[in-house]
Amino acid sequence: MRNISALVFASGLAFLLLVITWQFILGGAPMLIGEAILQQAAEELGAANLVTSVVLGYRGIDTLGEIAILFTASTATSLVLSSIAEKTSAKSKPGLRDDGTILASSASLFFPLLMTIGLYIILHGHLTPGGGFQGGVILAAAFFLPLLAVPGRGVNHSGLALVEGFAGASFIVIGIIALFQGKAFLQPLFGHGEMGSLLSAGSLPLLYIAVGLKVGAELSGLLANLAEPSGNGDETLSATESASTEQTSMQAEKTKS
């Protein structure tokens, strides 16, 4: 009986999907909103990259929500990892461990290069593919690479928190200024400028700078917390294991004697 019921359900579902698929026009799906954005975004916002127009111009509140979700997730993870780091550091406080001159020198060399690439992607997000989220991840990688080369070095968490808070506040303040001018929240300010130039798309580049700095600071702090307790924990664990092994061997020798 169950097999018959399952067969009837599967047949009905297949028929429904077939009817829905038959109604679609292959290669010409109705995208009314997308077509409207393609026709009006360049004139309304002045951004050469239409993705930026959608992310910041038409869906700016959604982007603010995504930033809030990232902030909540990184803060919760950092709190958990910070508590683990405090427990491990209370047992052992190892110094810096240098894994090699070549690795440390390479990390120092790549740091300014990654910073330049990240800032370039952020500043040109309204012109070319990229923007605040992509550039912010590269900035975080630039700060995380030296931690991999020299474990235990650490980062300035207070400075990262200051940059993160300032960037988030700037994003919201720009939206509030638009409200005071009688516009919608986060609606672009200033003039559109010349299409394709660096100084164009109004305040959208400023929003991307705020997003890039906030994402970079959040991920840098999170990656730093991931690196710090792991290194301390491994060294503490190895020291504890070696001490217990020595005590066991000494007790065995005393028992034999």
pLDDT band at 42 (very low <50, low <70, confident <90, very high): confident
**Over the stretch 113-143, which tens digit does the pLDDT of each residue have?**
999 999 999 999 999 999 999 999 999 999 8
Single-letter amino acid code for the residue at 246? E
Q: What is the 3-state secondary structure (H, E, C) of the chain?
A: CHHHHHHHHHHHHHHHHHHHHHHCCCCCCCCHHHHHHHHHHHHHHCCCCHHHHHHHHHCHHHHHHHHHHHHHHHHHHHHHHHHHHHHHHHHCCCCCCCCCHHHHHHHHHHHHHHHHHHHHHHHCCCCCCCCHHHHHHHHHHHHHHHHHHCCCCCCCHHHHHHHHHHHHHHHHHHHHHHHHCCCCCCCCCCCCECCCCCCECCCHHHHHHHHHHHHHHHHHHHHHHHHHHHHHHHHHHHHHHHHHHHHHHHHHHHHHC
pTM of the model: 0.71
Average per-residue pLDDT in the chain? Answer: 80
Question: Quick one: CA torsion of 43, 47, 49, 53, rounded to 10 degrees?
Answer: -80
The per-residue pLDDT for 114 is: 94
pLDDT reading at 238 higher than 90: no
Contact 185, 154 (CB under 8 A): no
Rounded distance between C-alpha atoms, residue 196 and residue 232, angstroms: 49
Residue 153 has pLDDT above 90, yes or no: no
Residue listed under structure tokens 């700037």: 170
The answer to whether 215 and 172 have CB atoms below 8 angstroms apart is no
Nearest in space to 111 (alpha carbons), one of 79, 85, 134, 143: 143
Q: Which residues contact 108 (CB under 8 A, 6 or more apart)?
A: 146, 149
pLDDT in tens, 56-99: 988 889 999 999 998 898 888 888 877 765 665 555 545 555 55
Return the higher-pLDDT residue of 149 and 179.
Answer: 179
- Percentage of the chain modeled with pLDDT above 70: 77
pLDDT of residue 138: 95
203-218 pLDDT, tens digit per residue, is 999 999 999 999 999 9
Rounded distance between C-alpha atoms, residue 238 and residue 236, angstroms: 6
Taking the CA of residue 153 as centre, how many other CA atoms within 13 Å lie in the half-sphere pointing to its CB?
16
Q: What is the pLDDT of residue 166?
A: 94
pLDDT class of 102 with cuts at 50, 70, 90: confident
